[in-house]
Amino acid sequence: MRTTTAGDTIWLRRARPVPHAEARLVCLPHAGGGASSFRRWPARLPAHLELHAVQYPGREDRLADSCVTDFARLADLVTDALTPLLDRPLAIFGHSMGAALGHEVAVRLGRRGFTPAHLFVSGLPAPCHHRPGTVHLRDDEGLVAELRRLGGTDDRALDDPELRSVVLPSVRADYRAFETHRPVLAPPVGCPVTGLVGVDDPTASQAGMRDWAHHTRAAFALRTYPGAHFYLDGVHETVVADVVTALGPARRVNDLP
């Protein structure tokens, strides 16, 4: 498996390695986002829990790697990258596009006989609300307008032509993958699911978030926070605390019913 100089695989980043971690939390960024989206989280985690942030190709330290524009293929690749981590309980947190990807990965892990400890889906309604989109077909100005609408992207990067040329290709590729994706009916996952959303999110209603309850055979909970689509930026300490509380003590793989 291809690795980085830090010893992580090319798909996963650890800001704080925990050699004897009792459990792991895998975090999947939003469209156009990278592993650095979760850089402030490890300092807030208990000593037994290790965070692995997924690094999609085409951004940050994988800028030279070609983006993946097939969502199912991306889910397959991330699932494969997690295989070495399945010797311990593993929870999944995904925001926006990362939530859809996290669900697809949880389904794939279930097919392999592994039940995640928990699935956290943030800022994205349940798969039954997914509709085709055309943002990826817009010109650069149209793409920038969508990013400004959602917030969460530094205006300096959007205003500077050189920085914009670096940012937009991965954003467009991720939008293409997600907007052309057609979720397939899959059995509910066997782990608890928690939905998280900003109360002013223009893309994720609380009703749409509650429909995630239909995608688990275990418990479902909904958490709301002040803010819009990128509410995480303002309340990450609270979100991390809520994630840790939901996970509770580490449990062995597949101990869940």
Q: Return the active site residues.
A: 96
The Cα–Cα gap between 63 and 56 comes to 9
